[in-house]
Chains A and B, each alone.
Chain A
């Protein structure tokens, strides 16, 4: 079993839709959870960063962590064509290793 599982999609939605992106993980040592957005042929940029279980909101983006289920989500409200990108979850453990473990990424297309 891979450490982090993420459905690669592709996911296609109409403009204005609510988008739900998810990852599951197997290692309970993961304590930090991040979502990155990567446009084609560009480096990833950090969207959201969470530490504890629960929700964290930033504008149209909400990150949700359920440590008991080892399940993390990113919700995008009122999706825009400019949100079209690949979204990667990334996790790392508390202290010690600084290594980020990335999901495969989900390719999202928002159609106008």
Chain B
């Protein structure tokens, strides 16, 4: 249980285009989802916290107009990288915190990640 999926798992796009990444909690509802970015041999860096039905909270240094986050339902959050550039190439990982109930609400369950390559 407590499965989080991401789609796509791998995407290549050209510089200047936009890419949308989906994060879904498959067997639980989550009011809060988190988006991380991980560069090679680096740790996970939180980009933004996404709450269902409200605007995302971005970490310092993360451009909110470049990384658009939509948390439209209790099981889906999307991250859109707009006008992507090669420096945006990275591993993007989402996590979801369950509502209290079947799964521990203190825990974040991570998706498998999306590898973005911008050429």
Contacts and interface: CB of A to CB of B under 8 A. Distances in A.
Interface of A: 6, 8, 32, 36, 41-46, 49, 88, 98-100, 102-105
Chain B interface bracket (under 10, 10 to 19, 20 to 34, 35 or more)? 20 to 34
Contact of B41 (A8, A42, A49, A100): A8
B81 interface: no
Contacts of B111: 43
A32 B41 contact: no
7 contacts: A41-B113, A43-B95, A43-B110, A46-B107, A98-B32, A102-B43, A105-B43
Contact of B106 (A32, A44, A102, A105): A32
Interface string B42-55: 11111001000000
Contacts of B93: 43-44
Interface in B89-119: 91, 93, 95, 97, 106-113, 115
